[in-house]
Chain A
Amino acid sequence: MTKKIGDVILDVSNISLRFGGVKALTDISFNVREHEVRAIIGPNGAGKSSMLNCINGVYQPQEGSITFRGQKFDHMNSRQVAEMGIARTFQNLALFKGMSVIDNIMTGRNLRIKSNLFMQALRLGPAQREEEEHREFVEHIIDFLEIQAFRKTPVGQLPYGLQKRVDLGRALAMEPQVLLLDEPMAGMNMEEKQDMCRFILDVNDEFGSTIVLIEHDMGVVMDISDRVVVLDYGKKIGDGTPEEVRNNEEVISAYLGTSH
């Protein structure tokens, strides 16, 4: 297997985020290269999700800057970030439970729909054609994620592992350049984890997306990531290939504890 990892496309430098007196992130810097799978790991409360929320535009860090393809975005909201091509999935699944799988994934096309509400409501020609194009794209995702049997099933009725897949599908529908995955494998059994790993690697291969993921399961992270950032109490304590991180003293002590 040969994979071409390109230049740095996402650069996070000296980010600090505070909620009142609580320092969630302190002076974090790392970068993400094109086409790589980049993992952020750390114990509970290390600031992983906060980091993702900063990149995603949900939180605005007090200090530092984030550069995406040479463009800085300190004060963008999540919509603007999404328009730049950064998509995400959620740790606790923010899906529309009563809507079908198709409709949920269709919402991911929202930013790409050009016809306005009026045209759509009247099902005017151009709006209808556009919808068909988007539906076709969504069908490709459904095929890719192997959820054809559940197209019309309300998402709330699906088992958790499949809901996670729908969540990923919705993010993919944005055709993102960078995909942020917040604990894609939390709460899954071994088989579901293996499936998810395969989908993540396939997304990386087939769509060429750059992937940033947060994960608890060390085994999974080490297997599928190209590089890993380790956070602990809001600070970066390690950065490098899985092998380097595994041998990093500080990381070992953060995870396993040390005798002082």
Chain B
Amino acid sequence: MQTTFPRLMLTHAAERPTAPALREKEYGIWQTTTWSDLARLVQSVACGLHQAGLQRGEHLIVVGSNRPRLYATMLAAQSLGAIPVPLYQDAAAAECVFPITNAEVRFAVVEDQEQVDKMLEVREQCPQLTHIFYDDPRGLRKYIEDGLGSLEELIAAGGVFAQQHPQFFSEEVAKAQYTDVAAMFFTSGTTGNPKGVVHTHSSLIDRADAGAEFDKLTSAEDVLAYMPPAWIGQNIFSYAQWLVCGYVVNCPESAATVTIDLKEIGPTYYFAPPRVFEGMLTSVMIRMEDAGSFKRKLFHYFMGVAKKVGPALMDGQSVGLKDRLSYALGNLMVYGPLRNNMGFSRVRVAYTAGEAIGPDLFTFFRSIGVNIKQLYGSTETAVFVCLQPDNEARADTVGVPCKGVEIKVADNGEIMVKSPGLLKGYYKNQKATDEVLTADGWYHTSDAGFIDSHGHLKIIDRVKDVGRIQGGANDGAMFAPKYVENKLKFFPHIKEVVAYGDQREKVCVMINIDFDAVGNWAERRNLPYAGYTDLAQKPEVYQLVKECVEKVNADLAEDSMLAGSQVSRFLILHKELDADDGELTRTNKVRRGFIADKYKPLVDGLYEGRTEQFIETVVKFEDGRTGSVSATLKISDAKTFTPVKAAA
């Protein structure tokens, strides 16, 4: 489609002026913005920003959660030919400095007081940030700062300007070409500074369209937008595809009300990283444990039926009449109400992406009739590379290439992609661009994987992370840290794992327990504990985790490629790995190298065969203060298994 986002918006406004574009729950009521309301709002914001001095080609940052007026701001900036750069709203002030300096940002449009405070702090290092506008005035009434103003006033002023210059807005929109830069996304990056991924209108719109065509999305879809808009996943689902399809995007009241809002809206198209699905399953399971024995028995009986029949039904296979009847009964009594409770009553297509999803989790949702599928993509590819067709969803693959995508596997096992949705380049970083984009248009995904016999792509790990065991019994065996970590993380009691083994003689892991799940488990066993650190070091918890590790080892022993990656020793960390401490990226991926340095005594302890190790670490609290946590951690051995040789 040779068009731009503002033009798409204006088309919807012209064709379906009274259809809802956005809904936001405010003061307990879902308030609707129609397409024509939106067009007016965007026009006012655009005129206001123009008056404030926003130039064509200039970057503007948008910081906040999913709010209609922030969406309108992105559209307004694009209407003027400026480039919106959404930043993560939970990033610390220091993390915003690089993007703001890198893109020479003068304009910031932010959500509330929290973000304003952050911008004012950033401004000490970035004096060029002269214009800050906020959406929610609460607590800001008494702020007197240069260049700080409310979006409300900007919109009012812009409205007046629009009346005086009725042609201005449409002329500006008409100037933009589909090949112009539409937006920039900063990738979190596990090392070094983040990189600004530059996308054009055409790359984003093309991918949004390909995805919409794949799943036959229409303007009748309902979507709930609650992940950070700075994440390209959210941006594609609730911005690019929103404008391409013209469906309704619903903004929750606050982060705390998402589960309630989800139930009220009942989205038809849903997108979330695996941990959100995991949270839902955990809460269902915990509540079932607390239910009366009749309900519990009913639940477990019908979940057994669902597990047997559900996935087959979902895949369109034929199922015996008896099974079909018991599934129908289960649907009436258990699955239907359960779906309703989770807000999945109307869901047609649900995607999970960003991380591998556990097979049990995946099967659970499919078995109760939620059409959950996986997709593969990244910021650089504007998400859609591979998608799973409705009847071919598997937990261990990521689907088939979608429209316009070509895939090949390089000699080192790296997946290479060619697609109309590829990035234009990294902003002001030609070197990095040249590293990932070849001259003939192939993009290096840096993921290692292969295409299986059904034509589905399977991802193993990052290419650079795939290592070799050196010395010991498994000398030279392949080691894929993420593969091992994910296998462990699929257990509900384990939240985060860091695995080491490259250039070493065995694989050792550090584990974070899931405080809710293990805490609940401990309470049910009358096991007293004084907090996270105490719970983590209980011998009973070590035993619990040990069983998980050994199950993974047994599983790995059957894998012809990765049998050497079995875990020999493990320990449970005394604190949760946290993005604020730099241990995780903002998208919750472990930063292995950083953690290895920070917890060096622990890693040494693991490999030197000690049975316990003292560690002291500095932690950063959410308000910016720091403190230290120290503990003596136990280190435990785990049983490994002899590899089952795959039949050659």
Question: Please, how many angstroms separate the alpha-carbon atoms of A198 and B113 in the complex?
Answer: 12
Chain A nearest CB from B369 CB (Å) reads: 28
What are 15 inter-chain pairs, A to B, with CB distance below 8 A?
A2-B144, A136-B27, A139-B27, A140-B27, A142-B28, A143-B26, A146-B254, A146-B256, A148-B254, A149-B253, A149-B256, A149-B260, A151-B28, A194-B623, A205-B141
Q: A94 at interface (Cβ–Cβ under 8 A)?
A: no
Given known pairs A148-B253, A148-B256, A148-B257, the reply for A3 and B27 (CB within 8 Å) is no
Chain A positions within 8 Å of B26 at CB level: 143
Q: Which of B197-222 contact A (CB under 8 A)?
A: none
Chain B positions within 8 Å of A194 at CB level: 623
Q: B165 at interface (Cβ–Cβ under 8 A)?
A: no
Chain A nearest CB from B481 CB (Å) reads: 36
Q: A1 at interface (Cβ–Cβ under 8 A)?
A: yes
Question: Please, how many angstroms separate the alpha-carbon atoms of A230 and B260 in the complex?
Answer: 46
Residue of A nearest to B621 (CB): A191
Chain B positions within 8 Å of A142 at CB level: 27-28
Residue of B nearest to A142 (CB): B28
Let me know if A139 and B260 touch, CB within 8 A.
no
Among B28, B141, B144, B253, contact of A206 (Cβ-Cβ < 8 Å): B141
Residue of A nearest to B623 (CB): A194
Question: Please, how many angstroms separate the alpha-carbon atoms of A144 and B141 in the complex?
Answer: 14
Q: A83 at interface (Cβ–Cβ under 8 A)?
A: no
B251-274 to A contact mask, C-beta < 8 Å, 1/0: 001101100100000000000000
Q: What is the size category of the interface that chain B forms with chain A?
A: 10 to 19
Q: A202 at interface (Cβ–Cβ under 8 A)?
A: yes
Let me know if A202 and B138 touch, CB within 8 A.
yes
How many positions in chain A have a CB within 8 Å of any CB in the partner chain? 19
Q: B464 at interface (Cβ–Cβ under 8 A)?
A: no
Residue of B nearest to A144 (CB): B138
Q: Which of A187-232 contact B (CB under 8 A)?
A: 194, 198, 202, 205-206
B1-30 to A contact mask, C-beta < 8 Å, 1/0: 000000000000000000000000011110
Q: How many A-B residue pairs have CB under 8 A?
A: 38
Q: Which residues of B contact A (CB under 8 A)?
A: 26-29, 138-139, 141-142, 144, 253-254, 256-257, 260, 623
Q: Which of A138-166 contact B (CB under 8 A)?
A: 139-140, 142-144, 146, 148-149, 151
Chain B positions within 8 Å of A1 at CB level: 142
Question: Please, how many angstroms separate the alpha-carbon atoms of A136 and B29 in the complex?
Answer: 10
Chain B positions within 8 Å of A146 at CB level: 254, 256
Chain B positions within 8 Å of A3 at CB level: 142
Let me know if A202 and B256 touch, CB within 8 A.
no
Residue of A nearest to B143 (CB): A1
Given known pairs A149-B254, A149-B260, the reply for A205 and B139 (CB within 8 Å) is yes
Let me know if B141 and A148 touch, CB within 8 A.
no
Let me know if A139 and B28 touch, CB within 8 A.
yes
* Residue in A135, A149, A151, A202 whose Cβ sees the most chain B Cβ within 10 Å: A149
5 closest Cβ contacts across the A-B interface?
A139-B27, A149-B256, A149-B257, A1-B142, A139-B28
Question: Please, how many angstroms separate the alpha-carbon atoms of A143 and B139 in the complex?
Answer: 13
Chain B positions within 8 Å of A140 at CB level: 27
Chain B nearest CB from A257 CB (Å) reads: 32
Question: Please, how many angstroms separate the alpha-carbon atoms of A144 and B27 in the complex?
Answer: 10
Let me know if A143 and B141 touch, CB within 8 A.
no
Chain B nearest CB from A144 CB (Å) reads: 8
Question: Please, how many angstroms separate the alpha-carbon atoms of A148 and B139 in the complex?
Answer: 18
Given contacts A2-B142, A149-B257, 15 further A-B contacts (CB under 8 A): A1-B142, A139-B27, A139-B28, A142-B27, A142-B28, A144-B138, A146-B254, A148-B28, A148-B257, A149-B260, A151-B28, A198-B139, A205-B139, A206-B138, A206-B139
